[in-house]
Structure 1
Amino acid sequence: MAANDVLTRAQIDAELASLPHWRYRLGGLAAVLKCPTSAAALELFATIGAMAQAANHHPDVDWRYDTLFVTLTSHDAGSKVTARDAALATAISAAAVRAGATAHPELLRAVEIALDSDDYAAIAPVWAAALGFKAGESDDLLDPSGRLPNIWFQETQTPNPNRFHFDIHVPASEAQGVLAAVEAAGATLDHANAPAFVIATDAQGNRLCICTEEGRDGA
């Protein structure tokens, strides 16, 4: 397999079987690595940077005190997972073990802003121009710098009166715990589209969706 080859979902799942630190999320591989100290986290950050330079393939890394949030995707392959991502994830995991880091997939969250629309093609250019976003898949917009939440236009012939809602992406392995906490906090849950997503409605009628990698990315 060539390094630039986009992996199928079955191939991604096969790679993840040997990558316990990592989860599949929104077209990328993601991990949360908690180190023994802040200094150890910085050292691991530097190690990841050196490996990325050597591989000419660069992950997004967010350093927060003793914890690194790492995301791998191949932008030149349409922001998909390729063999390069799996290879670098393997190397990062080995470095994390040497650094004494532990994985915390329960901390993985990614937020999309979803907008109900019965004709998203008519409005997407406005949002792209205003935000400086680029087209991703046919129905979403992405921040080229990866800093801001994606916008996903949820096509529906019956848009909700409150058309905006958050899509909260969590690993499927963590979804039941998140859903239980949301329900305990007072939301009602609609499981009709599970495991792709569960619609949560708060006491005032506001909606959000708890989404997993079994959703659009798994199609």
Structure 2
Amino acid sequence: MAAKDVLTRPQIDAELAALPHWRLGLGALRTALKCPSSAAALELFAGIGALAQEANHHPDVDWRYDTLFVALTSHDAGSRVSARDAALAHKISAAAEAAGAVAAPELLRTVEIAIDTDDVDAISQIWRTALGYKADAAGNLTDPYGRGPALWFQKTATPNVNRFHIDVTVPHSESAATLNALAAAGGSLDHEHAPMWVVVTDRQANRLCVCTEAGRGVD
């Protein structure tokens, strides 16, 4: 199927209204499914594999004891959400319910590493070579096997003294609890760009951003 089935943000939101197990994050539909046991998780994993083969559309699935982390995106559409992703998400949800699995959106985290730089070209190839990553259309570096965190270059004429920071994308529905916990742990929170992201600074001036899809458009 061609990439013409890419969904707009309103269409994605409409699909998510009927997919309570799932959240949108960094160009993918994502869920964490907690199963009654490790064996049940493995059985569900196999079931998801069978559904993927039947649909000829394959999600990323990470099995961790009794929990499965699933991400659905269409690589032929530039890693955006398509109608195929939504259709498979519905089938996976039905299989999860039949297996006694429950959604655990509070477990969803997607990590990216950001580097402040005033010259992306001067450093990109070094990182790409060291990590064995590939560059996407925007120049960000991603693990071709989806195992490691993405690395992106935040181009700025005034790089921060501490050039590295971590972006942690969480579901918007879970972000308030995450931010409250960070504040309680002593983090300083800058909400200027909320809800898209909140800059968190620790007691030693190290930064991270808690990001959500809220307020972001999808082409």
The normalised TM-score by structure 2 is 0.94
Task: Return the alpha-carbon distance in structure 1 between the equivalents of residues 32 and 83 of structure 2.
Answer: 20
Aligned counterpart, 1:45 = 45
Q: 2:58 & 2:125 partners in 1: Cα distance? A: 29
The one-letter amino acid paired with 2:32 is V
- Check the 8 A contact 2:3/2:76 in 1, yes or no: no
1:58 corresponds to 2:50:
no
Tell me if structure 1 keeps the 8 A contact 2:118–2:156: yes
Q: Which residue of 1 aligns with 2:133?
A: 133
Deviations for 1:116-159, whole angstroms, at most 9, x for unmatched residues? Answer: 11222332222222222112241411111000000011122221
Query: C-alpha separation between the residues in 1 aligned to 2:51 and 2:12?
Result: 21
Please state how far the C-alpha of 1:58 moved relative to its aligned partner: 0.8
SS of residue paired to 1:153: strand
User: How do 1:1-219 and structure 2 match up within 5 A?
Assistant: 5-214=5-214, 218=218
Find the aligned partners of 1:192 and 1:79 in 2 and give their Cα distance: 28
Identity of matched residues, %: 67
CA RMSD, Structure 1 to Structure 2 (Å): 1.7
Q: Is the 8 A contact 1:27 1:217 kept in 2?
A: no
Q: Deviations over 1:47-71 (max 9, x none)?
A: 1000001111111111111111111
Indicate if the aligned counterparts of 1:4 and 1:84 stay in contact, CA closer than 8 A: no
Moved more, 176-185 or 35-44: 35-44
CA-to-partner distance for each residue in 1:90-133, whole Å, 9 max, x for gaps? 00000011111100000000110011112223322222222221
Alpha-carbon separation, structure 2, partners of 1:190 and 1:2:
42
Write out the 4+ residue segments of structure 1 that deviate beyond 2 Å after TM superposition: 1-4, 214-219
Distance (whole Å) between structure 2 residues aligned to residue 2 and residue 115 of structure 1: 34
SS at 1:7's partner residue? coil
Asked whether the 8 Å contact 1:168–1:210 carries over to 2, the reply is yes
Q: Aligned partners of 1:40 and 1:183: how far apart in 2?
A: 37
The aligned amino acid for 1:138 is: A
Counterparts of 1:217 and 1:110, CA distance in 2: 18
Distance in 1 (alpha carbons) for counterparts of 2:166 and 2:127:
16
**Higher deviation after alignment, 128-137 or 16-25:** 128-137
Say which SS state the counterpart of residue 15 (structure 2) adopts.
helix
Aligned partner of 1:177: which letter? A
1:123 is paired with a residue whose SS is: helix
User: Could you tell me how far apart the structure 2 residues matched to 1:33 and 1:172 are?
Assistant: 18
